[in-house]
Amino acid sequence: MPQRPGYHHGDLANALIAAATQLARDGGPEAVVLREVARIVGVSATAAYRHFTRHSDLMHAVKQGAQDDLVSAMRAELAMTAAVPDPSAEALRQLRALGHGYLRFALAEPGLFRTAFAQTNKSGEHEAPGQSTATMAGSAGYQLLAETLDELVAVGMLDPGRRRYAEIVTCSWARGLAMLLLDGPLSAFPAELRDQVIFHGLDHIRHYLTGDTRPAPAPSPVARSAQLTRWPRSSATIR
């Protein structure tokens, strides 16, 4: 990103998005105020209108980024542990990783998490019925879950007859737990306890899907608690 040589910025659109993302990260979607964004970048508020026809368009871009970040967090959690040879165990590992990634991102980046699911009306869209912008987890995340669930069926752990509503139930659980952890009564819990709730919740989901009532293999490694603080985000460098 250039050093702002003078009158022309060079990459104002991205700079605005980055600043807006930082605001969303700190204060949620309501904190994304166009004038403040311009202020941060060091540009007049009017300049933003060269790159976004209105506030909600900027908002939309931030939301997209937040959704991408969520999916990245899920992918990162997938990559954090090694794949195991046994297909059944591998499918379970993936399921757990996706859930952990989702919920840990929610805890680490509550502002971005809320932004990812915020209601935005982009320019052309008129409440667009039937084509909701608020996809499950940015669509890509939903796809990851769907694949893992398919794998669970293929491996024989998930009854095909119970496949149909599996992602809705799983998504509902994860989304609701995130709300309880962020805004609800569970928000008062200390970080460790919240991690435990997530861990046990995920184990319940596993049990629900597979019918396997045996307890979870091991408690959540403490080493990962460090990750609960802040999620590193490559695209959010300002200026």
Partner DNA sequence: TGTACATCAGTGAACGCGCGTTCACTGATGTAC
- Contact footprint for a copy of itself (CB under 8 A): 117, 119, 129-132, 134-136, 159, 162, 164-165, 168-169, 171-180, 183-188, 197, 200-201, 204-205, 207-208, 211, 213
Give the residue with the Cβ less far from a copy of itself, 176 or 219: 176
* Interface positions, 22-61, toward DNA (CB under 7 A): 33-36, 43-47, 49-51, 54-56
Q: Which stretch binds DNA (CB under 7 A): 5-13, 165-173, 212-220, 222-230?
A: 5-13
Give the residue with the Cβ less far from DNA, 47 or 180: 47
Two structure tokens written together for 58: 């900027």
Give the residue with the Cβ less far from DNA, 17 or 178: 17
Q: Which amino acid is at 130?
A: G
**H, E, C per residue of the chain:** CCCCCCCCCCCHHHHHHHHHHHHHHHHCHHHCCHHHHHHHHCCCHHHHHHCCCCHHHHHHHHHHHHHHHHHHHHHHHHHHCCCCCCHHHHHHHHHHHHHHHHHHHHHHCHHHHHHHCCCCCCCCCCCCCCCCCCCCCCCHHHHHHHHHHHHHHHCCCCCHHHCCCHHHHHHHHHHHHHHHHHCCHHHHCCHHHHHHHHHHHHHHHHHHHHCCCCCCCCCCCHHHHHHHCCCCCHHHCCC
Give the residue with the Cβ less far from a copy of itself, 48 or 158: 158
Q: Which does 165 bind (CB under 5 to 8 A by kind): a copy of itself, DNA, none?
A: a copy of itself
* Interface positions, 135-164, toward DNA (CB under 7 A): none
Least distance (Å) from a copy of itself to the CB of residue 70? 14
* Interface positions, 56-115, toward DNA (CB under 7 A): 56
Q: Which stretch binds DNA (CB under 7 A): 6-14, 100-108, 159-167, 199-207?
A: 6-14
Q: Which residues bind DNA (CB under 7 A)?
A: 5-10, 12, 33-36, 43-47, 49-51, 54-56
